[in-house]
Amino acid sequence: MQMEKEKIMQYGLLVGGKWIKTEQKMTVTDKYSEQATAYISIAARTEVDEAVELAYAEQSQPFHVADRYEILMRTVELLRERKAVLADVITSETGKPLRDAEAEVERATQTMLFSAEEAKRISGEGVPIEAAVGAHNKMAFSIRVPVGVIAAITPFNLPLNLVCHKIGPAIAAGNSVILKPSEVAPISALKLAELLLEAGLPVNRLHVLTGDGATIGQALIDNKRVAMFSFTGGLKVGAWLRQHAGMRKVVLELGNNSGNIVHHDCDVDRTAKILAARSFANAGQVCISVQRIYVQEEISKLLLERLKFYTEQLVVGNPREEKTDIGPMISRKEAIRIEQWVNEAVQDGAVIVAGGKRDGAFYTPTIVTGATPSASICREEIFGPVVVVETYNGVDEAIAKVNDSDYGLQAGVFTNQLQTAMKAAYEIRAGAVIINDTSSFRVDHMPYGGIKQSGLGGKEGPRYAIQEMTDERLIVLDRF
């Protein structure tokens, strides 16, 4: 059914506390109905420069820690109050089931709460410089100061919580933020900005620029008042930002093709159940989603059978229905890409054990075996509801297979042997190794971030992000 024109909301850019509607617009769709739900404004270089100038000037205004804390705590309250509305927006703009959207709002609330709490703990340290020969008359300590204007660029898959992971710590640390949310799922970020203003955030501390990533990205790179880029998204854009940011700080939180080891001594049924639940959530569009499963030969038949059983219980459908586990992918184009990658693997000898069917933007939860390690579904980040299962004999082989990746964000290991767990913990090259849960475990205050092509420049999680979003300044005193 065609949605009536007047029901389509129009959103402006947020610059200097005002919502500015531009003539050029982009359409945002409901990912289930594929109908237009909103028009967003498109920022040009002029609006980018205006926002950066205001954000930069604001840095000379006082912004006391107690005020930052109060504003973030009020935002926490508002997020709790508006949970239902925000979850509804997230479901519409991403297609994820309503209960997952509610869980995202709860996580976003926690992220803001942790940010508020960390605001009170920002401090430098005493430095015993008098220990150096000739420095006995001096004392020193360090303080942590805001870096200044931070460009925060975010992806579509957790459109509220990942924005909170940037704005929360940035505000806690006393910075000003230029936010560029995903153009396909920008509405929850715009709603969050409304809440922050309602909570009393000084208007020039946050500007939100929607529109084309390349145009806004180029304007931000060209504007030397931007002190730092905090980016979550794909490798291509991340690498471009790194290349062009020059001497400025860049934090990149990128993708993964997460490896998970299932050792013979684990509880196979429990493991299969957890793997099925975590591999396909959000239609696999999670940077730490389970992608490669390595199972020890002797339990492989049983694991595959249980995994298939639990996977086939998952309900694919309308994200607003309570029974739904998996909604559509972000677009038909993405579902077609997944279909092509799976088909290519099958042409090269892989076998589909479950799923493997596309209907519009839907792709059924899919298990593939026998794929060659060079297949795109193994080597690239699939970012869709597909897992590849392969067997191994010894633990060294399993670890080598997990490490045979350009990425290194998180990995999972299921085992009841301490020795195997310890070996994996030390030898898997990733930002985190999760024992007896999958690679996709995350709570919002843990240090989160990858190595290799999964990330660079620092971890997220409010305490760790604040480290990156502040500079350490040393103060030396001489008693002459």
Nearer to ligand NAD, 244 or 273 (CB): 244
Helix (H, G, I), strand (E, B) or coil at 351: strand
Could you tell me if 315 and 324 are in contact, meaning their C-beta atoms sit under 8 angstroms apart?
yes
Structure tokens at 3: 């949605």
Interaction residues for ligand NAD, span 336-395 (CB under 6 A): 381, 383
Residue number, 155 or 385, with CB nearest to ligand NAD: 155
- Given the rule CB under 6 A, which of 22-30, 32-40, 55-63, 230-238 is the region that contacts ligand NAD? 230-238
Helix (H, G, I), strand (E, B) or coil at 386: strand
What Cα–Cα distance (Å) separates residue 75 from each residue in 150, 206, 230, 360?
A: 20, 14, 21, 38
Tell whether residue 441 is a contact of ligand NAD (CB under 6 A). no
Smallest separation (angstroms) from ligand NAD to the CB of 439? 12
DSSP per-residue string spanning 6-47:
GGSEEE-EEETTEEE--SSEEEEE-TTT--EEEEEE---HHH
Confirm or reject binding of residue 67 to ligand NAD (CB under 6 A): no
Q: Give φ, ψ of 59 to 5 degrees.
A: -65, -20
Q: Looking at beta carbons only, is 63 or 383 nearer to ligand NAD?
A: 383
State yes or no: residue 159 binds ligand NAD (CB under 6 A).
no
CB 466 within 8 A of CB 169: yes
**Candidate list 58, 93, 100, 253; residue touching ligand NAD; CB under 6 A:** 253
Q: Which CB, 87 or 152, lies closer to ligand NAD?
A: 152
Taking alpha carbons only, the member of 253, 288, 257 closest to residue 438 is 288
CB-wise, 96 or 180, nearer to ligand NAD?
Answer: 180
CA 185 → CA 95, 155, 443, distances in Å? 10, 8, 22
| Binding of ligand NAD by 213 (CB under 6 A) | yes
Considering only residues 28, 51, 237, 293, which one is a binding residue for ligand NAD as defined by CB under 6 A? Answer: 237
* 214 belongs to the binding site for ligand NAD (CB under 6 A): yes
Dump the DSSP string for 280-346.
SGGGG-STT---EEEEEGGGHHHHHHHHHHHHHHPPBS-TTSTT-SB---S-HHHHHHHHHHHHHHH
Task: Check if 253 is active-site.
Answer: yes
Contacting range for ligand NAD; rule: CB under 6 A; set: 134-142, 211-219, 310-318, 417-425: 211-219
- Which x/- pattern over 20-59 shows residues binding ligand NAD (rule: CB under 6 A)? ----------------------------------------
d(CA 331, CA 346): 23
Output 271 or 439, the one with its CB closest to ligand NAD: 439
428 touches 401 (CB < 8 A)? no
Sheet architecture: strand order including 292-296: 351-354, 366-369, 386-392, 292-296, 259-262, 410-414, 432-435
* Long-range contacts, 474-477 (Cβ 8 Å, 24+): 474/127, 474/140, 474/141, 474/142, 475/140, 475/141, 475/142, 475/143, 476/129, 476/138, 476/139, 476/140, 477/138, 477/139, 477/140
Q: Distance (Å, rounded) from C-alpha 227 to C-alpha 56? A: 10
Q: Which DSSP helix (H) or strand (E) runs through 391? A: strand 386-392
Nearer to ligand NAD, 232 or 296 (CB): 232
Pick the binder of ligand NAD from 94, 210, 223, 232 (CB under 6 A): 232
Are 25 and 212 in contact, with CB atoms under 8 Å apart? no
Check binding of 210 to ligand NAD (CB under 6 A): no
Residue among 93, 118, 164, 287 flagged as catalytic: 287
CB 272 within 8 A of CB 387: no
For residue 156, give the amino acid letter.
F
Rounded least distance, CB 330 to ligand NAD, Å: 7
Contact 431, 411 (CB under 8 A): no
Q: Name the DSSP letter for residue 370.
A: S
What minimum distance in Å lies between the beta carbon of 442 and ligand NAD? 9
Q: Confirm or reject binding of residue 240 to ligand NAD (CB under 6 A).
A: yes
Instruction: Say whether residue 182 binds ligand NAD (CB under 6 A).
Output: yes
| Sole window of 48-56, 231-239, 270-278, 352-360 interacting with ligand NAD (rule: CB under 6 A) | 231-239
Q: How far is the CB of 184 from ligand NAD (least distance, A)?
A: 7
b/e sequence 165-180, b meaning 16+ C-beta within 10 Å? bbbbbbbbbbbbbbbb
Active site residue 287: yes
Residue nearest to ligand NAD (CB): 217
Q: Does 462 bind ligand NAD (CB under 6 A)?
A: no
* Interface with ligand NAD, residue 154, by CB under 6 A: yes
Cβ closest to ligand NAD, residue 180 vs residue 207: 180
Q: Site residues for ligand NAD, window 408-427 (CB under 6 A)?
A: 409
Taking the complex as a whole, the smallest distance from the CB of residue 216 to ligand NAD amounts, in Å, to: 6
Interface stretch with ligand NAD, choices 124-132, 251-259, 314-322, 420-428 (CB under 6 A): 251-259
Task: Please report whether residue 255 would count as binding ligand NAD according to CB under 6 A.
Answer: yes
Active-site residue set: 253, 287
Q: Which residues bind ligand NAD (CB under 6 A)?
A: 153-157, 162, 180-183, 213-214, 217, 232-234, 237, 240, 253-255, 287, 381, 383, 409, 455
